[in-house]
């Protein structure tokens, strides 16, 4: 499930079709030049060192507690927030063209998205924009339909990566 979410995030954020592999054997069968990035967790990395070490320059290890790599291994602490994950992925995958994806939303939808990403609930958004709650719900439904992103965290990632909100 986490792999599917990360795959969708990479696709939405960077415009890259990520492949989710079921086991390390599938990774070994792929030619090295076809792989831009391998993302794994610490347990799988350690259990499969022979597979990952030759690919360590293109491997990102996700951990759920503070950790530091030795400089050779790219490690990101997922509990440090979305900014760290985006920063860790960006050098491998590059930025998606922001002009075309940002134009998917109307100005009002972008306003609603900005407020959703800032943590406001529907009533607060309605009050801030002087619109009804039903209108907020309609905008949120349209945003979800256009972007294919349903979670608030996913919408927040999208807003950060497309300049709708400032990541800081």
Structural domains in the chain, sorted by start: 2-93 (3.40.50), 98-161 (1.10.10.10)
Is 160 in a helix, a strand, or coil? helix
Task: Tell me, yes or no, if the pTM score tops 0.75.
Answer: no
- Nearest of 121, 101, 117 to residue 156 by alpha carbon: 117
Query: Residue 130: what pLDDT?
Result: 92
Is 155 in a helix, a strand, or coil? helix
Query: Residue 96: what pLDDT?
Result: 43
Chain CA centroid to CA 16, Å = 11
Question: Residue 165 contacts by C-beta under 8 Å, 6 or more apart in sequence?
Answer: 114, 117, 118, 156, 159
Higher model confidence: residue 31 or residue 128? 128
| Structure token digits, residue 52 | 């990952």
Query: Residue 21: what pLDDT?
Result: 76
């Amino acid at each position: 499930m986490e792999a599917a979410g990360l795959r969708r995030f990479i696709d939405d954020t960077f415009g890259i079709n990520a492949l989710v592999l079921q086991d390390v054997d599938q990774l070994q069968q792929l030619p090295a030049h076809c792989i831009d990035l391998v993302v794994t967790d610490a347990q799988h990395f350690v259990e499969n060192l022979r597979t990952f070490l030759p690919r360590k320059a293109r491997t990102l290890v996700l951990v759920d507690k503070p950790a530091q790599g030795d400089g050779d291994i790219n490690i990101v602490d997922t509990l440090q927030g979305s900014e760290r994950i985006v920063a860790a992925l960006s050098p491998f995958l590059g930025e998606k063209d922001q002009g075309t994806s940002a134009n998917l939303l109307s100005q009002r939808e972008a306003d609603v998205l900005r407020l959703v990403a800032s943590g406001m609930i529907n009533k607060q958004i309605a009050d801030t924009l002087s619109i009804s709650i039903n209108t907020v719900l309609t905008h949120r439904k349209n945003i979800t339909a256009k972007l294919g992103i349903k979670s608030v965290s996913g919408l927040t990632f999208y807003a950060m990566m497309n300049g709708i909100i400032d990541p800081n």
